[in-house]
Amino acid sequence: MSEFLPDWKSLRRHRIPDWFGEAKFGIWSHWGPQSVASSGDWYARHLYGMQPCSEPWERKRADRQHAHHRKHFRPGKGAKDLFHRWHAERFDPEELIGLYVSSGARYFVALAAHCDNFDLWDSSKQHAWNAARIGPQRDIVGAWERAARAAGLPFGLSFHNNWTWRWLDVAHGADPATGESHDGALTRHDGPGTWWEGLDPAELYPDKHAPGAKPPPQVADRFYARVREALDRYRPDLVYLDDGRLPFDAGSVVESEPVSTRGLELLAHYYDTCPTGGLVTIKDVPDADRTAVVLDCERRQLDDAQPHPWQFDTSDGEWFDCSDDDPMFHPRKNSQQIIHTLIDVVSKNGCLLLNVPQRADGTVDGRARALLSEVGDWLRVCGEGVYGTTPWLRPAEGATGMGDTKGYEGYNEADRAYLPSDIRFTRRGDTLYATLLAWPQDRTAAIISLGARMGLLKGRPAKVELLGHGPLTWRLTEEALHADLPPDPPTKAAYMIKIT
């Protein structure tokens, strides 16, 4: 008998599995055939060039990526033609999962299907355009799943192909330079003699439609059939849906006409069958639904602690491999940014999911490896104040705010110039951790929230120590708890004081 019914009232009884609230840090492989171009995210759409339906923020990116495509790939080729160029010939999931475990990651998420509508698992019964048949000719999702499970990591899958309807509509347009029609109108009958003979582009690209037109319900039905097949086969512990609400339902980035309630059916089925209880993330979650689905914030830091665990997702640069350093592309990160973001997110009851872009061949570059090594070094010293912790009475103190909005999508993540007065709090039982986001030049930590006047500290500390160093001399005044720090910081980027 099913425990959950496909309605919000029933689904609100779902509880977020304990592993998620304890893990705090995960790695995401947001990787697929668009990495072939090494030109960043949205490539499968923008290779067609700017179209009348292109949004204002897309215009420069579309022009640049279209020019890149004309230079490096024969004109007239479309999104489908990236697929057979993607070979993943050096993809070693066991080695990469080992790298991620050493960085301190406690869960792993693999991309299952991006907006280009290409499945990274053997979905041939549902969808012929998949990695087991084209390109790598390998079940990429299955390889990730086996490696993650062998390492003891909870495993997740992300789905983005709900965007395909409004993302690959451009395949029905024409080349802005030549006027030549794109490949959106091709069918199986056009395939003989081509590399894609036997495949039907009409199953890959959406039906031709006016910009803003809503898809029919069978588009939603097909999306959910493919997602359900993947969930039943790989039993992921986490499912990431790239949408504000459940795909094709009211408030979705692509509402069907009429709106689809298949998402509620999927949640009920998934929660009833997932051995670890399951969790699904979306990006706009009313307070009442925060256990039915988990809030995910894409490159968007929150100001306050949340009553339920949530997820912040970001990337070391672009979502897909990118060799271009133009400011319009997201810059690569350093370990200090990752560590600052991690402790900020954890102090607010969140988990950080970090994408590490892979090259088309499946490898990650030396810069990413160095970043992960430095994050792992920090967590080996300070992880006790991260993993399995809960928010304190307040998440933070300090005057440094969220800063100016960054990026064309309105994201607010940034490499902020934190001050020694910027502190983040976590706790484990009766132990409190106060993490300084900058090193005081006078070598004195002043934690105002712990001053006697504030009345937040229950009793006098028995011990104050700096992780990676040892006990500190300290004094408690009305204004603050003052701790004397050593001449040199024992860690990079952030400095964790443990108050017992």
Residue 174 pLDDT > 70: yes
Q: Which of 211, 201, 205, 241 is nearest to 224 (CA)?
A: 241
**Mean pLDDT of the residues in the chain:** 94
Specify which of 170-179, 280-289, 411-420 reaches the highest per-range mean pLDDT.
280-289
Q: Token pair for residue 250?
A: 């009211």
- The residues, ordered by sequence, that sit 6+ positions from 39 with a Cβ below 8 Å of its Cβ are 64, 65, 68, 69, 320, 322, 323, 324
Domain contains 390 = no
Q: Give the integer Cα–Cα distance in Å for 172 and 152.
A: 45
Residue 76 clears pLDDT 80, i.e. is over it: no
Confidence grade of residue 1 (pLDDT, cut at 50, 70, 90)? low
Q: Are residues 424 and 301 in the same domain?
A: no
pLDDT score for 406: 47
Q: Any residues with CB less than 8 A from the CB of 276 and at least 6 apart, and which?
A: 17, 19, 154, 237
Residues of the chain above pLDDT 70, percent: 97
Which of 361, 385, 409 represents a domain boundary (last residue)? 385
Regarding whether 208 and 143 lie in a shared domain, the answer is yes
Last residue of a domain, which of 355, 385, 415? 385
Sign of CA dihedral 221, 227, 233, 239: negative
Is residue 106 domain-shared with residue 250, that is, in the same domain? yes
Paired residues of 144 in beta bridges = none
Is residue 2 domain-resident? no
For residue 335, name the pLDDT band (cuts at 50, 70, 90).
very high
Give the integer Cα–Cα distance in Å for 198 and 483: 71
CB 462 within 8 A of CB 453: no
Residue 410: band (very low, low, confident or very high) from pLDDT cuts 50, 70, 90:
low
Q: Which domain holds residue 253?
A: 8-385
The reply to whether 190 falls in a domain is yes
The last residue of one of the domains, among 332, 360, 385, is: 385
Question: How many structural domains is the chain composed of?
Answer: 2
Q: Are 288 and 9 in contact (CB under 8 A)?
A: no
Under the banding of pLDDT at 50, 70 and 90, the label for residue 408 is: very low
Angle ∠(117,123,126) on CA atoms, nearest 5:
80
Q: For position 401, what pLDDT does the model report?
A: 66
For residue 291, the tally of other CB atoms under 10 A from its CB is: 17
pLDDT for the residue 405 = 43
Q: How far is CA 142 from CA 156, 215, 231, 464, in A?
A: 12, 31, 12, 47
- 55 and 101 inside one domain: yes
pLDDT beyond 70 at 75: no
Q: Does residue 319 register a pLDDT over 60? A: yes
Please tell me the predicted confidence (pLDDT) of residue 327. 82
| CATH code where residue 52 lies | 3.20.20.80
**What CATH number is associated with residue 439?**
2.60.40.1180
- Phi, psi values for residue 443, rounded to 5°: 60, 35
Residue 227 and residue 125 share a domain: yes
Instruction: Say if 1 falls within a structural domain.
Output: no
* Chain segment 142-156, per-residue pLDDT in tens: 999 999 999 999 999
Measured between alpha carbons, how far is 10 from 3 in angstroms, rounded to an integer?
8
**Dihedral in degrees, nearest 10, Cα atoms 329, 332, 337, 338:** 110
Looking at residue 409, its pLDDT comes to 52
DSSP-based three-state secondary structure for 435: strand
pLDDT in tens, 423-467: 999 999 999 999 999 999 999 999 999 999 999 988 899 999 999
pLDDT at residue 150, as a whole number: 98
What is the rounded average pLDDT of the residues 8-35? Answer: 98
Percent of the chain surpassing pLDDT 90: 86
Q: How far apart are CA 237 and CA 311, in angstroms?
A: 14
Using DSSP's 3-state secondary structure scheme, residue 481 falls into: strand
Please compute the mean of the pLDDT values over residues 296-317 and round it to a whole number: 94
Mean pLDDT value across residues 492-497:
98
Residue 53 pLDDT greater than 80, yes or no:
no
80 part of a folded domain = yes
Task: Write phi, then psi, for 113 (nearest 5 degrees).
Answer: -160, 130
Look at 427 and 408; give whichever has higher pLDDT. Answer: 427
Give the integer Cα–Cα distance in Å for 446 and 475. 10
pLDDT bracket for residue 166 (50, 70, 90): very high
Q: How confident is the model at residue 2 (pLDDT cuts 50, 70, 90)?
A: confident
Q: 10 Å Cβ neighbour count for 251?
A: 12
| Per-residue model confidence as pLDDT tens digits over 239-295 | 999 999 999 999 999 999 999 999 999 999 999 999 999 999 999 999 999 999 999
Residue 257, CA distances (Å) to 214, 215, 218, 267, 459 in order: 6, 6, 10, 21, 60
362: alpha, beta or left? (left if phi > 0; alpha if psi -120 to 50): left
Measured distance CA(213)–CA(53) in Å, rounded: 12
Q: Can you read off the two tokens belonging to residue 248?
A: 């094709």
176: confidence class by pLDDT, cuts 50, 70, 90: confident
Are 480 and 448 in contact, with CB atoms under 8 Å apart?
yes
Model confidence pLDDT, tens digit, residues 224-236:
999 999 999 999 9
Q: Give the model's pLDDT for residue 404.
A: 46
